[in-house]
Amino acid sequence: MDASILIVHYNTPGLLKQTLKGLFERARPACEFEVIVVDNNPANRISSDIREMFPQVKFIDSEKNLGFAGGVNYAIKNANGRYLLVFNPDIATAQNAIDELVCAMDKNPEIGVMGPRLRNPDGSIQDSCYRFQSFLTPFYSRTFFGKFGRGKKDIERHLMKDFDHNSAREVDWLLGGCILARKKAVEDVGTLDEKYFMYFEDTDWCRRFWEHGWRVVYWPSAELYHYHRRESATGGNVMFQFFNSLTREQIKSAIRYFWKFRGKQNPRYKINK
């Protein structure tokens, strides 16, 4: 088995149906692959109609909402592929994109995880590769302080605005909504840290790949469309942002991430010395 495509689903049946149709009817990867869908919502399961429409898909029901990291890990436990493609249910797959990623990984055994170029529905390039956050990046991204001065510079550094996104290159970390990980590397690095319910789990994972000597690479030759970004609300009243539930989750995850890696240098630079 070449690739296991791992989808964590939570109450978006329309998007899931379109994504699965895209995989089997339009993309049709030439590599040997399987699709595993973890249903993370016990209160509103994926309908029998969708399950019957895609009998080749392995649907797994979680007993509770495991969060993104927990859902991915649950899928990994049931995966048989040499590569693990973490795949949001709002990704549209272009023909040959998955084969391109698998082929590139086969040719570059030092790469632990690889991410494609993602585009927004209007065709513009979506942010999907990044430099590690500074301690203030989450604050800047949630408030008007990120719109000017030092805050703006910090966000532009983080989002790699100085990079045209047209060439393959090593990056600090990749958006977890669509990344291909080498199973051998995952066995070395470990799975996603489930203590992050939402946010920073992909940053943490990529950082650990670097710490274990595996390279993290952005690969624009493989291109897909992402129809909904898990994005942070920006601007507005600071107190409103603080009490926003997504903001609270991001703050909790940020505190865990920065405490976990406190005092540690960027591991990418150690490998590239």
C-alpha–C-alpha distance, residues 205 and 194, integer Å = 11
pLDDT-derived band at 245 (thresholds 50, 70, 90) equals: confident
155 in a structural domain: no
State residue 66 phi and psi, 5-degree precision.
Answer: -85, -5
pLDDT of 109 over the 50 cut:
yes
pLDDT-derived band at 209 (thresholds 50, 70, 90) equals: very high
- Residue 15: CB atoms within 10 Å: 17
What domain count does the chain have?
1
CB 77 within 8 A of CB 190: no
The alpha carbon dihedral of 230, 231, 236, 242 has a sign of positive
User: Residue 273: what pLDDT?
Assistant: 59
- Residue 2: CB atoms within 10 Å: 20
- As a whole number, the mean pLDDT across the chain is 91
User: Residue 233: what pLDDT?
Assistant: 40
CATH number at residue 129: 3.90.550.10
83: left (phi over 0), alpha (psi -120 to 50) or beta: beta
For residue 55, what are the domain limits?
A: 3-133+166-232
243 in a structural domain: no
141 in a structural domain: no
255 in a structural domain: no
pLDDT of 239 over the 60 cut:
no
Percent of the chain with pLDDT over 70: 93
User: Residue 242: what pLDDT?
Assistant: 47
User: Residue 250: what pLDDT?
Assistant: 83
pLDDT of 193 over the 80 cut:
yes
15 in a structural domain: yes
User: Residue 228: what pLDDT?
Assistant: 67
Percent of the chain with pLDDT over 90: 78
152 in a structural domain: no
For 30-51, write each residue's pLDDT tens digit: 999 999 999 999 888 999 999 9
98 in a structural domain: yes
In single-letter form, the type of residue at position 20 comes to L
258 in a structural domain: no
pLDDT of 265 over the 70 cut:
yes
CA torsion angle 94 95 96 102 (round to 10): 60
C-alpha–C-alpha distance, residues 69 and 87, integer Å = 12
For 12-27, write each residue's pLDDT tens digit: 999 999 999 999 988 8
pLDDT of 241 over the 70 cut:
no
